[in-house]
């Protein structure tokens, strides 16, 4: 059994970088983007690990998760986050994905945070 990764735990190599829990992604349809600056159109379902907490049902009646991956999916969209990470999903299939993040410290400014969702593997 593989260990459960907690996104609040820093990377072993660099304490200013972290990785989230591995989630299962099933893509049933993937259509190319409409334009040069658009993202792929995906129909998908995400299976959250047992340790992801469910939040209160949204006004639509859909239960939302409170993990970092769900937050990024809601805020920027899954296809956008995968493209930003350099791992776009372009075909239907089963994938393993996880969130990632890093904190960049500037001398004069407050820290800058960068994050996304990356592809771990395709099955």
pLDDT bucket at 12, cuts 50 / 70 / 90:
low
Contact 98, 64 (CB under 8 A): no
29 contact partners, CB below 8 Å, separation of at least 6:
41, 42, 43, 92
Residue 65 phi, psi dihedral angles, 5° rounding: -95, 155
DSSP 3-state of 108: coil
**Cα 22 to Cα 102: distance, rounded to the nearest angstrom:** 17
44-92 confidence digits (pLDDT tens)? 999 999 999 888 776 766 778 889 999 999 899 999 999 999 999 999 9
pTM: 0.79
Distance from chain centroid for Cα 107: 29
Contact 27, 43 (CB under 8 A): yes
| Tokens, residue 13 | 């190599």
Distance from chain centroid for Cα 17: 15
The alpha-helical segments, DSSP class H, found in 1-123 are 68-76, 78-84
């Amino acid at each position: 059994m593989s260990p459960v990764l907690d996104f609040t735990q820093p990377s072993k190599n660099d304490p200013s970088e972290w990785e989230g829990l591995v989630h299962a992604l099933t893509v049933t349809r993937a259509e190319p983007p409409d334009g040069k600056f658009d993202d792929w159109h995906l129909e998908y379902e995400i299976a959250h690990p047992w340790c992801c907490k469910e939040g209160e049902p949204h006004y639509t009646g859909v239960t939302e998760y409170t993990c970092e991956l769900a937050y990024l999916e809601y805020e920027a969209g899954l296809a956008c986050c995968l493209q930003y990470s350099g791992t776009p999903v372009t075909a239907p299939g089963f994938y393993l994905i996880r969130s990632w993040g890093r904190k960049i410290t500037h001398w004069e400014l407050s820290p800058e945070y960068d994050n996304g969702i990356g592809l771990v593997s395709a099955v």
